[in-house]
Structure 1
Amino acid sequence: MPGARTPALTRHRYGTAALVAFGLAAAGDLAALALGADLGHTILKPLLMPLLAAYVVLRQGPPLLTAALLFGWGGDVLLLGEGDLVFLAGMGSFALGHLCYLALFRRNGEGHGTARGTFIVATYACALIITVALLWPDLPPDMRIPVAGYSLLLTAMAFGATTLGLTAAAGGGLFLLSDTLIATDVADWAQAPRPDFWIMLTYLAAQILLTTGVRTGTLTSESAPARP
């Protein structure tokens, strides 16, 4: 019936508007970072994840995906501040988001064959060990354990994303890259010009790819016939 379809159509349109607004805010934020306009970044960064979360809600995506994005928003806002405690709080908020993603992957992922799964686990494990080993001597002593623990959780999330298809896997890998770039800054390694631009570029790409991968994977799992 036309009347019954109207609310769904309205949600769909508002969802599209939220996604377009996210794209515009993301482009503006990246432009601000590229130009060194700190005020623009400070204004636009807190808008990004709420807009993406609004898109998920309006398109009736899983609540855990909305929660993951909002925990990402918490991390985004906290990392606008300064100081070790603020940084650790931001890292904790992102960690909660990773737990939400892991729960989604566990619920909707398809798993791996033995050989493939072993290879992917070994690859991510090697990446984790090498990265932490290289960063460890240069990290502030009070940051070493938190960064190592967070890196373990982040790597588990990136591995889990591979069970939901290539789109989600790419998102997990880019999230891992983005946070590794942050860790190199904490370790006071030499940085590329405009390092915040590259961090945000990989982070925003990660979140939109994870969002797309999770929504697609959720719709696929819901439409699949029940197993006997």
Structure 2
Amino acid sequence: MTYAAWGFFVLAALTDWHAVYRENKRLETIAKPATLVALILVALSLGASDTSPGRWLLFALAFGLVGDIANLGDSESRFKMGLGTFLIGHLGYLVCFSELGLPRPGWSWAVFGVLILSMIWTREVTPSTHRQSGLALSAPVVAYTLVIAGMLILAWFTGDWLIAVGAAVFVVSDSVLSMNRFVRPIPHAQLAIMTTYHVGQALIVAGVLGWT
């Protein structure tokens, strides 16, 4: 069951990446949510529903799925809806990682270097969103940034390298998205966003549920 679920996930993800690359919106409408559904099936097959961290992981993935569906539209209202659902999902990750325990090994403190690099690269995002839409958009973006920063820190503090790398890759996805949407166009941004998003989530699932 687990290998079949992973196979479904890989197939759905590759299909979605192909759809994004080809700008095939019809195919992406199917493949994008199917990829998160497949990842939820992976988590369930690994026993996520049997443990508290696993249940919070499912919570986070479920809100990620809702966010994916919301972001199939390009309007600002759909973006805000997606932002809100992903924020809730990241709160789920915060609880999930806390439930795993936070031993904070020596290498985990390097997360602050990762965080600083991310902040430097995306430093123009908040001013740009404020110029474009005022506090109505810049305030939610700041709130989301703080939550995902917390998610990244706790991911590294779990001491599990899969979770740490997965969270870092997830932050790359969000950073590319925000830079591309609010600051300046990035070549092949949508493909970069989706590949890092799916890989990051998959690594987190594997790390939380001990699948290696």
One-letter amino acid of the structure 2 residue matched with residue 130 of structure 1? I
- The correspondence of residues 110-121 of structure 1 with structure 2, limited to 5 A, is 110-113=102-105, 119-121=110-112
Aligned to 1:134: 124
Aligned to 2:141: 147
* Consecutive unaligned residues in structure 1, runs of 5 or more: 1-12, 218-228
Following the alignment from structure 1 to structure 2, what is the Cα–Cα distance between the partners of residues 117 and 33? 34
Match of 2:80 among 76, 88, 104: 88
One-letter amino acid of the structure 1 residue matched with residue 55 of structure 2? P
Following the alignment from structure 1 to structure 2, what is the Cα–Cα distance between the partners of residues 132 and 29? 26
Moved over 6 A (4+): none
Q: Does the 8 Å CA contact 1:128/1:151 hold for their aligned counterparts?
A: no
Following the alignment from structure 2 to structure 1, what is the Cα–Cα distance between the partners of residues 100 and 10? 27
Number of corresponding residues: 202
RMSD over aligned CA atoms reads 2.1
One-letter amino acid of the structure 2 residue matched with residue 104 of structure 1? C
The structure with the largest alpha-carbon Rg is 1
Deviates more, 1:204-213 or 1:55-64: 55-64
Q: 1:66 aligned to 2:70?
A: no
Match of 1:176 among 164, 168, 171: 171
Provide Cα deviations, 1:26-63, integer angstroms capped at 9, x if missing partner.
11111121222222111210111111111211221211
One-letter amino acid of the structure 2 residue matched with residue 101 of structure 1? Y
* Consecutive unaligned residues in structure 2, runs of 5 or more: 49-53
Following the alignment from structure 2 to structure 1, what is the Cα–Cα distance between the partners of residues 33 and 109? 39
Provide Cα deviations, 1:148-177, integer angstroms capped at 9, x if missing partner.
110111111111111241111111001111
Following the alignment from structure 1 to structure 2, what is the Cα–Cα distance between the partners of residues 117 and 170? 11
Aligned to 1:226: none
Higher RCO (C-alpha 8 Å, min separation 6): 2
Distance 1:52 1:120, change over 3 A: closer
Q: Does the 8 Å CA contact 2:20/2:190 hold for their aligned counterparts?
A: yes
Q: 1:97 aligned to 2:89?
A: yes
Aligned to 2:160: 165
Following the alignment from structure 1 to structure 2, what is the Cα–Cα distance between the partners of residues 85 and 33? 21
Aligned to 1:53: 40
Report the Cα offset of residue 133 of structure 1: 3.1
Q: Does the 8 Å CA contact 1:105/1:164 hold for their aligned counterparts?
A: no
Q: 1:28 aligned to 2:22?
A: no
Q: TM-score, normalised by structure 1?
A: 0.81
- The correspondence of residues 11-26 of structure 1 with structure 2, limited to 5 A, is 13=1, 15-26=2-13
Following the alignment from structure 2 to structure 1, what is the Cα–Cα distance between the partners of residues 3 and 115? 38
One-letter amino acid of the structure 1 residue matched with residue 31 of structure 2? L
Q: Does the 8 Å CA contact 1:124/1:155 hold for their aligned counterparts?
A: no
Match of 1:191 among 173, 186, 205: 186
Secondary structure at 1:133 match in 2: coil
